[in-house]
Each structure stands twice: as C-alpha cells, then as structure tokens.
Amino acid sequence: MDSQLFVGTSCVDITPSTLPVITDGMGGCVAKSVESNLEIRAFTFAKGKKAFTLLTCDLLHFYEETIAAARELIRPEAMKQWEEWDFFLAASHTHWGPVLHSCNAKVPANKEYGEFFISKAFEAAKGTFDTMECVSMELGRTQCRMNINRRAIVNGVSFMQPVYPEYTFASVDRPVDHEVVVASFKRADGSYKGILVNWNCHPICFPIAYDAISSCFAGRTMKLLMEKYKCVCGYTNGALGDAAPLLGLKGAESRDMVANDLFAKTAALLDNGTMEKNDCSVFETDFWEMEIKTYPEGMVYCFKEFWGKESAALSLSLFRIGEWAAAIVPGETFAHFSKDFKARSGVKFPQVCSLTNGCFGYMVPRDEFQYGGYEPSVTMCAPGEPERIFDSYVERMKK
C-alpha cells in the first residue's frame, strides 16, 4: 500500500450569497450579479503516511492570515489519517471575486466573506479526505498560444497588455510561456478521478468596471473539462506575466475564446493517448524560508507590514510526485523565470504555481526594472532577488 498513490477530490461553491459586494483586483468594482460561480476545486495526494492538499480557488490571491487559518483548521482532520501533511492554497487570480485582503483603504477586506471562505476551505479539504482512492497518474504537455508577454516595450518604456492593444506588435518577440502541463489521475476502471491543468495567462478578460462576479477563463475552462470528463478539474497559474492578446477587457466573448482554446488543447492531449504514465516512487514536499532585500518603490501602496524594512523572509516550497514537480511561488511569475525553472529543474514535467501560499507581488526580472511600468511598482523583491529565489528552487529540486 505504501507504494501506491491515493488521490481524493472535491468541489465546493464559494460564490458570495449576499450581493452587492466589492470585487478585487480592479480598484474596487461593485458586483451586483453573478456571471459565473466561484469554486474551490480540491485535491489531496497521499502515499503511505505522507499527504498534501492542494486547494485551487477562484479568487485573486491569499495572504498569510488566510492561509494559516485554513491550514490550522484543516490540520487536525488530516492528522487523523497521515503522520505528515502539507497544505497549498492556490488562487486562479480572477479579478472579479470578493476582497479577501486589502491593500487600499478605499477597498476594505470583506471579513464576513473571509470567514465564509475559511469554512468552505475546510469543507473542501474534508471532502478530499473522505474520497481517497488508489489511482494511476499520467502526465502530458501541450501548448495554448492565446497568451503573450504582457509588457510591451515602446521607446524604452513599458506598456501593459492588453490595456494598450495597439502595442501588441511590440510584445511579439518577448519571452512567453505557452506550455500547458496536464496531470490526470485514473481509477482502475479507466475513469478519471481528477485532472489538474497548469497554464500561463493573467485572467483579466472582463472590463475594468465589470459589475458581476466571475471566475473568468480559468473557471470556464474547468467547467468544460468537468462536464466532459465527469471529475474534479483544477487550475493553477504559471507565468502571470503573460496575458491574452487583444482579447482582454471585452467581456464574456473574450473569456470564452481563451477558455475554449485551452479546453480544446487539454482535451486533445487527454483523448489522443499522448499522456505518459508517471512513476510515483518519489513523493516529496519541501518548505524553506529565504531572506530577500525589499524594494521600497514597489511597496508604495501594498505590503505595509514591510514598510521601512530592508529585508523580508519569504516562505517558499515545492512538491514532487515522480516526474511531476511544482515550484510554489508566493507571487506573480514572469515567463523568464518559469521557462528557466523548467529548463533547469531536472524533472520531465516541471511547472510553476504562481500566487500559491502567498502574494508578494510580481517576480520582476532584473533587466525589466529599467523599463518602468506597472509591475515594478507592485513588487516586494529588489532587483536580482527573484533570480536568487528561482536559483533556490532549482537547488532544492536537485537535492
């Protein structure tokens, strides 16, 4: 039994029941209706006496207080079954869910929703514990080319895509990570227990002043996959420095174009028999802290707890099952780093999970600071520190 992989899955609705609510990520819009429901799509992986739980959630981001509260509520239940248990909380980064954490006095955190979310996180995790089954695991990769580097450089100045679609031409030759990594888990009868998809695209397909709750393309893609494969399907973000070209800020039509293409590419991979069986002999998680230099210019309106401090400790982590491994990044990764990590990781199916177990702003490459723009204004990491962070991921992987 100790050599077998077990997986439990569950899906829990986290759509706010009371409207209107202020939504996150676009300066505090007010949602008066629900365009699409928000969900936690949960997975627990176990082998022998060790397990870890991954909650993939249709929300913008998570700070430590929510992560810690959810972890400590769930832990006693997990320890009834396993001697070692770890926890990963991943945000889809939809900009049209309730405000869990506020960086702006004009957009206060929704404490009532925060309590509701933590209770639902427990429900989702408990649901996975109650549905554990022995599975086989398969891995595959494909490409979805509905994304570009979000930073167009024009005359030495950065403009964000797709806010300025007229500058799309300036992003054509910039680094982009089109890769989609798919992990599937099958029962002995061949039916799917669960599917996890990792891709690299910022979910901002609706207008800045959008007035409804929405799970954006990530939620839509997972809904299509769940309908087709009759199992829980989860989404994790890769490089959030990538964005959908020309389609953003236009509503459901834009969202569906991205979702339908990502769904089609994922389904083709699953259906055409090009997935590879994964030897799950390796089953590990790794957690460590790293002291980094802060960047005061990037903390003007956020990360107030670090104002005036020259350094900060970041909690970093990894998980690995066989040839599938994820760098758990508490921030928004650029394609520079996701592609570099994949090239150096030493495993066959590596991925980056951005905005998981924390949110410390953008991981901006050293050379990008010279162009200015939005992303360097929302980062806690001084130039060169993200490079050190990703070096540490590679070093820990090689151990």
pLDDT tens, residue by residue, 318-352: 999 999 999 999 999 999 999 999 999 999 999 99
pLDDT surpassing 90 at residue 204: no
Distance CA 70, CA 175 (A): 36
Is there a domain that residue 274 lies in? no
pLDDT surpassing 60 at residue 153: yes
For residues 354-365, give the mean pLDDT: 96
Which pLDDT score, from 0 to 100, does residue 234 have? 98
For residues 375-398, give the mean pLDDT: 96
Query: Which string of b and e fits 100-139 if b means at least 16 CB within 10 Å?
Result: bbbbeeebebbeebbebbbebbbbbbbbbbebbeebbbbb
**Torsion, Cα of 357, 234, 275, 237 (10° steps):** -50
Band the pLDDT of 77: cuts 50, 70, 90. Answer: very high
For residue 31, give the H/E element and its range.
strand 30-31
pLDDT in tens, 243-279: 887 544 578 888 999 999 999 999 999 999 889 999 9
Is there a domain that residue 109 lies in? yes
For residues 134-148, give the mean pLDDT: 96
Q: Say if CB 15 and CB 31 are below 8 A apart.
A: no
**3-state DSSP call for residue 203?**
coil
Is there a domain that residue 160 lies in? no
Express as a percent the part of the chain with pLDDT over 90: 84
pLDDT surpassing 80 at residue 238: yes
The dihedral through the CA atoms of 219, 224, 225, 226 has a sign that is positive
Which pLDDT score, from 0 to 100, does residue 2 have? 64
Q: Which residue has the tokens 């227990």?
A: 193
Range of the domain at 120: 5-133
pLDDT surpassing 90 at residue 119: yes
Is there a domain that residue 259 lies in? no
* Total domain count, the chain: 1
Listed range (47-61, 199-213, 259-273, 351-365) with the worst mean pLDDT:
199-213
Band the pLDDT of 1: cuts 50, 70, 90. Answer: very low
Query: Which string of b and e fits 229-261 if b means at least 16 CB within 10 Å?
Result: bebbbbbbbbbbbbbbbebbbbebebbbbbbeb
Is there a domain that residue 89 lies in? yes
Average pLDDT over the chain, rounded to whole?
Answer: 94
Q: How far is CA 13 from CA 10, 16, 27, 36, 61, in A?
A: 10, 9, 25, 11, 17
Which pLDDT score, from 0 to 100, does residue 167 have? 82
Is there a domain that residue 16 lies in? yes
pLDDT surpassing 80 at residue 306: yes
Is there a domain that residue 230 lies in? no
pTM confidence score: 0.97
What angle is formed at CA 61 by the lines to CA 86 and CA 366, rounded to 5 degrees? 95
Is there a domain that residue 180 lies in? no
Q: Which tops the pLDDT comparison, 163 or 37?
A: 37
Listed range (23-37, 68-82, 100-114, 184-198) with the worst mean pLDDT:
100-114
Which pLDDT score, from 0 to 100, does residue 246 have? 57
